Amino acid sequence: KQEVTQIPAALSVPEGENLVLNCSFTDSAIYNLQWFRQDPGKGLTSLLLIQSSQREQTSGRLNASLDKSSGRSTLYIAASQPGDSATYLCAVPNSGGYQKVTFGTGTKLQVIP
Amino acid sequence: NAGVMQNPRHLVRRRGQEARLRCSPMKGHSHVYWYRQLPEEGLKFMVYLQKENIIDESGMPKERFSAEFPKEGPSILRIQQVVRGDSAAYFCASSPWLNRGQGNTEAFFGQGTRLTVV
């Protein structure tokens, strides 16, 4: 059974800092890994999708890396802004060939102006 | 191409009533997944459906909950005789058909339905 853990559970940083969110998973037989953002009371916004064959993926100030062998992914946010404040979730589909996803526990980020 | 559409966005039900949550997948997607997010908890898988078939319901509570994805129309998550513990955000996701072993598609999520049981 896949288990996904995110560290830290909460993070508070001043505006402008670079930061790293961590995600670890127990079953390395994954097809891809996806990072989402969730604002309070809102839905999920997909940020980045990394295929199992990729090492990293970038979008704007976001960079996600994947190390399948060690069961880890990181989300790097450069030059953080107050608008980045949200909960960040990593998610891994199961190995059964369909998109049954196991979500991580989430990191709640607060960027202080 | 509209995204995954869920309605209603907010639903209030009294204890004992029925709740019906609807999900229209993205155009061309034939797979639907339902997830539940209890207050202060993470998202948990509930059920995976293809048109007219339930493929994986390992996350569904054994009683009062059911799901369908008919040949025509949206997928429905139905909760009978709701209790306060059913209050949560329910998210739907969809994906296109893919061969077993292909996992290179994204999970596309709707905005969720927030159910409050009073």
User: For B49-81, how does the pLDDT look when each residue is reduced to its tens digit (9 = 90+)?
Assistant: 998 899 999 999 999 999 999 999 999 999 999
Distance from CA of A16 to the nearest CA of B (A): 28
Q: Do B103 and A105 touch (CB under 8 A)?
A: no
Q: Do A97 and B101 touch (CB under 8 A)?
A: yes
Please tell me the predicted confidence (pLDDT) of residue A103.
93
Pick from A79, A77, A89: nearest CA to A42: A89
Q: Give the model confidence (pLDDT) of B2-38 as tens digits.
A: 799 999 999 999 999 999 999 999 988 888 999 999 9
Q: Do A91 and B107 touch (CB under 8 A)?
A: yes
Backbone angles phi, psi at A4, to 5 degrees: -125, 125
Q: Do A34 and B31 touch (CB under 8 A)?
A: no
User: Which of residues B117 and B31 earns the better pLDDT score?
Assistant: B117
DSSP B105: P
Please tell me the predicted confidence (pLDDT) of residue A25.
95
Please tell me the predicted confidence (pLDDT) of residue A101.
86
Please tell me the predicted confidence (pLDDT) of residue B102.
54
Task: Please give chain A's pLDDT, 113 residues, in tens.
Answer: 889 999 999 999 999 999 999 999 998 888 889 999 999 888 889 999 998 889 999 999 999 999 999 999 999 999 999 999 999 999 998 766 567 789 998 999 999 99
Mutate to test the interface with A, among B5, B30, B41, B104 (most CBs of A within 10 A): B104
Q: Do A100 and B44 touch (CB under 8 A)?
A: no
Please tell me the predicted confidence (pLDDT) of residue A2.
87
* Residue among B55, B91, B102 minimizing CB distance to A44: B91
User: Which of residues B99 and A22 earns the better pLDDT score?
Assistant: A22
Helix (H/G/I), strand (E/B), else coil: B44: strand
Q: Is the dihedral of CA B43, B115, B33, B54 positive or negative?
A: positive
Find residue A34's DSSP bridge partners.
A49, A91
Residues in chain B: 118
Cα A54 from Cα B102, distance rounded (Å): 15
Distance from CA of B97 to the nearest CA of A (A): 9
Total beta-carbon pairs less than 8 A apart between chain A and chain B = 73
Cα B11 from Cα B7, distance rounded (Å): 9
Please tell me the predicted confidence (pLDDT) of residue B105.
64
Please tell me the predicted confidence (pLDDT) of residue A59.
95
Which residue of A lies nearest to B3 if distances are taken between CA atoms? A45
Which residues 29-48 on chain A approach chain B with CB closer than 8 angstroms? 30-32, 34, 36, 41-44, 46
Q: Do A102 and B45 touch (CB under 8 A)?
A: yes
| pLDDT higher than threshold 70 for residue B99 | no
Distance from CA of A59 to the nearest CA of B (A): 15
Cα A46 from Cα B5, distance rounded (Å): 15
Using a CB-CB cut-off of 8 Å, the residues of chain A touching B45 are: 100-102
Listed in sequence order, the residues at least 6 apart from A104 whose beta carbon sits closer than 8 Å to its beta carbon are A4, A5, A6, A23, A89, A90, A91, B42
pLDDT category of residue B1 using cuts at 50, 70 and 90: low
